[in-house]
């Protein structure tokens, strides 16, 4: 937990330092870089949460995997914003994201409780 906290703090510090580049480069490239870094940090945080769940429960929750996949796909969708893309790329990305959101809702609703798994043993 200490390493994770230091990692998050260093990421926030790096973002604050990058804000000084607004005066040199303009706000758009700095905003793009900052948003992409923040979302990358969120995806790594989801990965750490999945690892922690595995170490604690001995299994990986599907909801955590879906959360991580959603964050990564949203990063990819935002990446399309800053490069050449076709409407088919955007539609395909949105269909995959909507499908994962629906799967996330279903898995949350019908997920077994951890207490039931431990009592069964």
**Residues 56 and 17 sit within 8 Å (Cβ to Cβ):** no
pTM, entire model? 0.59
Q: For residue 30, what are the contacts with CB-CB under 8 A and spacing of at least 6?
A: 18, 19, 21, 22
Q: Provide the pLDDT confidence category of residue 116 given band limits of 50, 70 and 90.
A: very low
Q: For residue 113, what are the contacts with CB-CB under 8 A and spacing of at least 6?
A: none
Percent residues over pLDDT 70 in the chain: 90
User: What's the mean pLDDT in 4-13?
Assistant: 77
Q: Between these two residues, 100 and 68, which has the higher pLDDT value?
A: 100
**Does residue 117 have a pLDDT over 60?**
no
**Of 30, 67, 60, which is closest to residue 45 (Cα–Cα)?**
67
105-116 burial: b if 16+ Cβ within 10 Å, else e: eeeeeeeeeeee
Residue 87 is encoded by which pair of tokens?
A: 């409407």
**Does residue 114 have a pLDDT over 70?**
no
- Map residue 88 onto helix, strand or coil: helix
Among 37-46, 68-77, 92-101, the range scoring the smallest mean pLDDT is 37-46
Q: How far is CA 105 from CA 3, 31, 84, in A?
A: 32, 31, 32
């Amino acid at each position: 937990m200490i390493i994770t906290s230091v990692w998050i703090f260093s990421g926030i510090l790096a973002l604050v330092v990058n804000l000084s580049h607004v005066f040199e480069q303009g706000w758009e490239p700095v905003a793009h870089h900052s948003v992409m870094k923040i979302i990358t940090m969120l995806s790594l945080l989801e990965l750490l949460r999945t690892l922690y769940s595995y170490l604690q429960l001995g299994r990986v929750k599907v909801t955590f995997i879906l959360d991580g996949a959603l964050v990564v796909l949203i990063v990819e969708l935002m990446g399309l914003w800053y490069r050449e893309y076709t409407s088919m790329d955007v539609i395909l990305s949105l269909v995959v994201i909507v499908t994962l959101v629906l799967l996330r809702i279903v898995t949350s609703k019908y997920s077994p409780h951890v207490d039931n798994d431990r009592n069964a043993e």
